[in-house]
Amino acid sequence: MLYREAGDFKTTYVADNQTFPLKLDRIGFWITMAVAWLVIPFVINDYWASSLLVPFLIYAIAAIGLNILTGYCGQVSLGTGGFMAVGAYACYKLMTSFPDVNIMIHIVLAGGITAVVGAAFGLPSLRIKGFYLAVATLAAQFFLVWLFNKVSWFYNYSASGQISAPERLVAGVAVTGPSTPAWAQYLICLFFVTLCAVIARNLTRGTIGRSWMAIRDMDIAAEIIGVNPLKAKLTAFAVSSFFVGIAGALFFAVYLGAVEVGEAFGIQKSFLVLFMIIIGGLGSIFGSFAGAAFLVLLPVALKWIGVDVMGWPTDLVAHFQLVIVGALIMFFLIKEPHGLAQLWRLAKEKLRLWPFPY
Amino acid sequence: MKMKKLAAMALAGTLAAAPAMAELVIPDLSYRTGPYAAGGTPFSDGYQDYFNLLNARDGGIGGEAIRIVECETGYNTEKGVECYESTKGEGALIYQPLSTGITYQIIPKATVDEIPIHTMGYGRTSAANGEVFNWVFNYPANYWDAASVMVNYLLEENGGDLSGKSIALIYHNSAYGKEPIRTLEELSAMHGFELSQLAVDHPGQEQKSQWLQIRRERPDYVLMWGWGVMNQVAVQEASNIGFPMENFIGNWWAGAEHDVTPAGAGADGYKSLNMNRIDADLPVFGEIRTLVHEAGNAAGDGSNVGSVLYTRGMYAAMLAAEAIANAQEIHGVTDVTAAMVRDGMASLEITEARMAELGMSQIGPEFSVSCENHGGSGLGIVQQWSAADSQWVALTDYIAPDDSVIDPLIAADSAAFAAENNIEPGCL
């Protein structure tokens, strides 16, 4: 009753093809955008920015990137952490080599460099599939982390091997470095998230997205109907790595400010992003956001409940956190293997029929 | 019983939430979980127990009660940042994260927020230059001191000549482990020993290939920059390949009881540095047992009292408490702010008389801090593990580092940091 398509008539093809065909969806989308762009920047503080919203937005970009590769094109990748590292180190080298160029350009260029690296590591996907490909991308993960640790040119020969982001301004406001205001940190991430989500959504609705999905569903059949697997797989790797690279650049420059490759971009990061898209829903942009929110916000919420509300010892809460997050992952995988996105779809289906289900 | 405890906790929670009460807020960015918990737990126990002792015995510092806010970082920088952001709003006076990675992370943030950081024997070494790092302190000693103290000890063992000797450095492949490399390279050029470097990746359980290389190359000495589970594995591996343990020297984060006990008798003779003395009979431990543990306020299970890292955590808390007391004296108020605590730290002076008065005679060297020098004296002792007695035995008195090597390095590194971040060096 409340959520319905009845009466929502389309009279043009353009109207029929829009991103959100249902009026209610459109309203919901614009309200979300309005809150994100016009309300949150005015109420945000340091804690909300650096503990919750900024990591959530950055992981959402990474999850969208991996979802394109794994969810839409069916190529399992365990190299996300390594590709994020490429984005971070590319951004660092660009920032320090060309300090006068705007950081926004550096972040996009870092994405571009990661796309090239990602496509190179995607080459084996033409010959190997499934678990074997996962192992090949795992090699990328370890190789890239080793490379950034070993070759000191990447970290400008600093004694500690850490890279730290110098202060850079956008329109006169610092967006990297310690004196960044919380709202600026948030807005630059929100800008890139919005951009990436719109690009991803439209790519997946177009020719290229359809060719990815054809490859995912059955690569031999796709080849027979004229989809070029070389092009489809490599573009998936490139586009996916582009997003992951942007996420890595933001993660380093805007969120943490200083990173150590082994710790920040280790194999756990690859798994974390993979869990995000599995829990959120493979092949869904909304799922990328839902998964990122679930895995970023839940530990903080559990910590808040355990330590601040209940007053339990911190180590007990940290252990419980692992147990609860693990149990919830299993619960979701058993009860809803298609992730949070599918739950959302079902909820919408129920709402359509409510109050007269059949 | 349980209900009672919960009710007491709830009551304590409401009391703590009452805003009117003036108090000194000390965040404890601890880690009691993960691969580094073995080191993080005793340190945090000692840190909290000492502040609880001050609350129980003296009613806090200068009459102001201390409130500890513990936050679990798991030695992870992302969680460390979250902890920093969530605790700084409560009026945090001083941060001691016990992690070089987290220290690098919060140095710029704390400088902007004007909260002092004390990284005792870890963190960024060049923070010893107080004119560039106004808000960061690393007294009484830092990593480059440690490297130099080790080499000075070896010089002494070899009659002042290390030329032609080979020394291997096995290090945690992170900012922490990489810190001493620059100094050791400098010292190797100066004294003519050959330095080889072996990196061990986080968390440090995989060291087979590194020790195979040591077995093949047979260096005269192995120095270690390890932490957490890496130490235990390294000591075990060294004993497995039959490396002479007396030629294996860890830094002060690789020399606690739990690092050597798993290897049993094989660890006998392993040496490490220490920046504080260990003496389980210090009067302060008795006070902690009676006033804190018996009152049911122990930070952990109370089993760590007197161990190496517990002692060091307590020592860290003592230095923080003395700095706060110093700040109260300088500014003439008891309810000090973070900026005042920084002033207290910048003019801190620790004397033997004061340490004895606090019931921890000789726990550390005497030193004084100035606006220019945040690094303290840099002294370290060499201790050796005796497996039969299950205890560390101090082999030497405090050994001084070679400041003529370290000071130019600190000046160069801090100048680079200042240039990168547009800092005009100077005193606050």
Distance CA B90, CA A112 (A): 42
CB nearest A50 (choices: B12, B81, B111): B81
User: Are B222 and B315 in a shared domain?
Assistant: no
Six-digit token string for A343? 């739950």
Domain assignment present for residue B244? The answer is yes
Average of per-residue pLDDT values in chain B: 90
User: Are B320 and B247 in a shared domain?
Assistant: no
* Cβ atoms of residues B228 and B36 within 8 Å: yes
Q: Average pLDDT in the B214-236 region? A: 95
Residue B2 has pLDDT above 50, yes or no: no
Residue B10 has pLDDT above 70, yes or no: no
pTM, two decimal places? 0.91
Chain A contact for B339 (CB, 8 A cutoff): no
Average of per-residue pLDDT values in chain A: 91
Which of A:83-142 have CB within 8 Å of B? Answer: none
Domain assignment present for residue B262? The answer is yes
CA neighbours closer than 13 Å in the CB half-sphere of residue A266: 13
Number of structural domains in chain B: 2
Q: What is the pLDDT of residue B21?
A: 55
Neighbours of B162 (CB within 10 A): 22
Q: What is the pLDDT of residue B60?
A: 92
Domain assignment present for residue B346? The answer is yes
User: Are B129 and B243 in a shared domain?
Assistant: no
Residue B320 has pLDDT above 50, yes or no: yes
User: Are B30 and B129 in a shared domain?
Assistant: yes
User: Are B46 and B98 in a shared domain?
Assistant: yes
B interface test, pick of A144, A162, A269, A272 with most B CB neighbours within 10 Å: A162
User: Are B370 and B230 in a shared domain?
Assistant: no
User: Are B55 and B200 in a shared domain?
Assistant: no
Q: Average pLDDT in the B291-316 region? A: 92
Is the C-alpha dihedral spanning A274, A277, A281, A282 positive or negative? negative
* Cβ atoms of residues B122 and B103 within 8 Å: yes
Q: What is the pLDDT of residue B17?
A: 43
Q: Average pLDDT in the B147-172 region? A: 94
Domain ranges of chain A: 23-266
Q: Of all residues in chain B, what percent carry a pLDDT higher than 70?
A: 95
Six-digit token string for B290? 């009676």
Q: Of all residues in chain A, what percent carry a pLDDT higher than 70?
A: 100
Domain that holds residue B189: 143-277+380-407
Q: What is the pLDDT of residue A1?
A: 59
Residue B6 has pLDDT above 70, yes or no: no
Domain assignment present for residue B428? The answer is no
Residue B18 has pLDDT above 70, yes or no: no
User: Are B388 and B373 in a shared domain?
Assistant: no
Out of B22-26, B186-190, B291-295, least confident range: B22-26
Distance CA A345, CA A351 (A): 10
SS (H, E, C) chain A: CCCCCCCCCCCCHHHHCCCCCCHHHHHHHHHHHHHHHHHHHHHCCHHHHHHHHHHHHHHHHHHHHHHHHHHHCCCCCCCHHHHHHHHHHHHHHHHHHCCCCCHHHHHHHHHHHHHHHHHHHHHHHHCCCHHHHHHHHHHHHHHHHHHHHHCHHHHCCCCCCCEECCCCEECCEECCCCCCCHHHHHHHHHHHHHHHHHHHHHHHHCHHHHHHHHHHHCHHHHHHCCCCHHHHHHHHHHHHHHHHHHHHHHHHHHHHCEECHHHHCCHHHHHHHHHHHHHHCCCCHHHHHHHHHHHHHHHHHHHHHHHHHCCCCHHHHHHHHHHHHHHHHHHHHHHCCCHHHHHHHHHHHHHHHCCCCC
Under an 8 A CB cutoff, do B174 and A46 touch?
A: no
Residue B382 has pLDDT above 60, yes or no: yes
Q: Read off the CATH number of the domain in which B46 is found.
A: 3.40.50.2300
User: Are B110 and B167 in a shared domain?
Assistant: no
The alpha-helical segments, DSSP class H, found in B132-269 are 143-157, 175-178, 181-191, 208-217, 229-240, 257-260
User: Are B172 and B244 in a shared domain?
Assistant: yes
Domain assignment present for residue B51? The answer is yes
Domain assignment present for residue B136? The answer is yes
Q: Average pLDDT in the A90-104 region? A: 94
Domain assignment present for residue B190? The answer is yes
User: Are B394 and B338 in a shared domain?
Assistant: no
User: Measured between CA atoms, how close is B359 to chain A, in angstroms?
Assistant: 29
User: Are B356 and B398 in a shared domain?
Assistant: no
Which of A:15-54 have CB within 8 Å of B? Answer: 46-47, 50-51
Domain assignment present for residue B332? The answer is yes
Q: Average pLDDT in the B229-256 region? A: 94
Q: Average pLDDT in the B213-234 region? A: 95
